[in-house]
Amino acid sequence: MIKIILRIVLILFFIFLIFACFQYFYGGSPDLVSDRSGDFEILAHRGVHVNWKKGTYHPITGCEATHIYKPSHNFIENTIESIDAAFSMGATIVEIDIRRTKDNHLIVFHDDRLECRTNGKGRVVDYELAYLKTLDIGYGYTYDDGKTYPFRGKGIGKLPALEEVLVAFSDKKFLIDNKDGSMKTVEVLAGIIKNLPPDHQKLLFYWGTHKTYAYIQKEIPSIKRLLVNRGEIKKWFKNYFMTFGLSGFPEECKGLVFAIPPKYSKYIWGWPYRFIKKVHDADAKFYLYIDTEEEARKYADFPADGVVTDYIEIVGKYFKNE
């Protein structure tokens, strides 16, 4: 009797093993994924910018500018010039950061404080727009521990107000990142966007807390989120993983984008076509994070809905004709 039970358990184990292998290794066929080449998006993070060495920034101030890689171009992030260059290099959406000034304007700037990137001191919110525009926003960048400052003197007067960006690129898409996450900032943002034509409003996406998004979405229904946040990815993927890829993704995903680096694909059941079909069945989209030329070449014909990149100057050419 024990032998029979053991045999049954062994058979069931092998059946399960075969099932698991099928779910993991069989990625399906290309015809499972509809052709969305006409809607392919290239999201350039902060426009064309100099990247910083991850994990090396100051633990208290969060300063990135003193830990950059050696620049290969002359663009400073979140400027009119860097945004324009990103679109020229193939970007269809540019992510920009916003901060609120003392006199309730919004500037396109990443940091809470001025010391890291500029020749100013203190918090952005403590100064008026007119003063902030006099600063050199390239002042603090160095890749060699302060021996040289390649952007010093090149960023004077180049800090743009959000309105300037939206006027200069009225036909372009932006992902607007509310960096301080405050309700006051999103209220000012809503006021700015309400003054835009409806067709222009539809080109804008929002990134911020759920509370601030709920406010701006109520005020301007055409404003949508774009990317799924990290917490949502963990929550929604957990069920997918636990069911060996049998379950789909919840209705909450509708209209949103899952974005992951290619290195995580090895953990996904049914990669790539069966997985992407599950995403599309939820009326969501799937982007890849692509930051190297090697990755760009490898995934240039991959059936994703878009890519997100910190290196548009490198990878844009591989996707811009999608």
pLDDT for residue 59:
58
Domain boundaries, the chain: 1-30, 32-226+290-318
Residue type present at position 122 = G
Q: Note the Cα 204 to chain centre separation in Å.
A: 14
Distance CA 87, CA 77 (A): 13
- Please tell me the least confidently modeled range out of 1-10, 136-145, 185-194, 281-290: 1-10
Task: Measure Cα distances from 285 to 3, 38, 257 in Å.
Answer: 50, 14, 5
**Which residues, 6 or more positions from 180, have their beta carbon under 8 angstroms from its beta carbon?**
99, 100, 112, 125
pLDDT for residue 23:
74
Asked whether the beta carbons of 45 and 125 are under 8 A apart, the reply is no
Distance CA 122, CA 249 (A): 44
Handedness of CA 266, 272, 277, 280 (dihedral sign): positive
Asked whether the beta carbons of 133 and 105 are under 8 A apart, the reply is no
pTM of this structure: 0.92
| 161: confidence class by pLDDT, cuts 50, 70, 90 | very high
The per-residue pLDDT for range 246-300, each reduced to its tens digit, is 888 999 999 999 999 999 999 998 999 999 999 999 999 999 999 999 999 999 9
The per-residue pLDDT for range 227-240, each reduced to its tens digit, is 999 899 889 888 88
DSSP notation for 247-292: S---GGGTT-EEEE-GGGGGGSTTTTHHHHHHHHHTT-EEEEE--S
Average pLDDT, the chain: 92
Q: What is the CA radius of gyration of the chain?
A: 23
Task: Measure Cα distances from 300 to 32, 290, 292, 308, 316 in Å.
Answer: 19, 10, 12, 13, 10
pLDDT for residue 322:
47
Classify strands 106-108 and 93-100 as parallel, antiparallel or unpaired: antiparallel
Handedness of CA 318, 320, 321, 322 (dihedral sign): positive
Count of CB atoms situated within 10 Å of the CB of 15:
10
pLDDT for residue 247:
87
Selected from 3.40.640.10, 3.40.50.2000, 3.20.20.190, 2.60.120.380, the CATH number assigned to the domain covering 32-226+290-318 reads 3.20.20.190
The per-residue pLDDT for range 3-30, each reduced to its tens digit, is 777 777 777 777 877 866 767 777 778 8
**Which residues, 6 or more positions from 268, have their beta carbon under 8 angstroms from its beta carbon?**
245, 275
pLDDT for residue 58:
62
- Please tell me the least confidently modeled range out of 38-47, 89-98, 172-181, 187-196: 38-47
Task: Match 């694909």 to its residue by tokens.
Answer: 265
